[in-house]
Amino acid sequence: MASVPHKPTTPFAPLSLAIGRSRYVVLFSVIAVLLVSISLFLQGTVLGILTIWHSWRDLMAGNLQHARLTLVFLEVVSIMLEAVVFYIVGVGLYSLFIAPMNVTVALGVETLNDLEERVISVIIAILAINFLEHFIEWQKPLATLEFGVALAVVVAALVAFQAFSHKATEDQKNHNSNAQARAQRELFNEDNEEHVIEIE
């Protein structure tokens, strides 16, 4: 007698709909983070335009100071990178909790671990720019050396965490890729909050 395969079952969970809908509270943080990102982008743009104007004015007057100009331009780059961090967090949270978007796939942000990796990468770039600013100033060599050592320790810790997080992400994708894809499809496309359990 052939055995009848068990059908996937869904547990009775009266609060699953309400709890699933609670994910929309993330919209508040998404809006706040994106507003911060837009503000930083605008500030960086204004500062960049003003810096370019002043640099050309100083050049024409023969008072251009390259070191100071480089520091200001590096500050503009740092502001833009900070804006990028907030933007990635905003769109990443929206894609993870509300609805998937192509922009997050293009950025490689499909899981929370992916979001952490992208943010850490930009943070490392910001730290490198901060060290470069201290190096250009070069007023206190010993203080600059101490700052560089401290920065190296922080960057090493972030890189180690990033490597561990990347390995964990790959393992998760290899073991739960089908279940995760099915859960995302049911959550976003079929408006189903409950997870179907496969009984073997």
Chain centroid to CA 162: how far? 12
Domain of 134, in residue numbers: 16-188
Q: How confident is the model at residue 197 (pLDDT cuts 50, 70, 90)?
A: very low
In-domain check, residue 193 = no
pLDDT at 173: 61
Conformational region of residue 108, where left means phi above 0, alpha means psi within -120 to 50, and beta covers everything else: left
pLDDT digits (tens, 9 = 90+) for 69-126: 788 888 899 999 999 999 999 999 998 888 888 888 788 787 788 888 888 888 888 8
In-domain check, residue 62 = yes
In-domain check, residue 137 = yes
In-domain check, residue 196 = no
Structural domain count of the chain? 1
pLDDT at 161 > cutoff 50: yes
> Is 0.75 topped by the overall pTM?
no
pLDDT at 30 > cutoff 90: yes
Range from 30-34, 62-66, 117-121 carrying the lowest mean pLDDT: 62-66
In-domain check, residue 134 = yes
Which carries the bigger pLDDT value, residue 48 or residue 164? 48
In-domain check, residue 145 = yes
Q: How far apart are CA 164 and CA 180, in angstroms?
A: 21
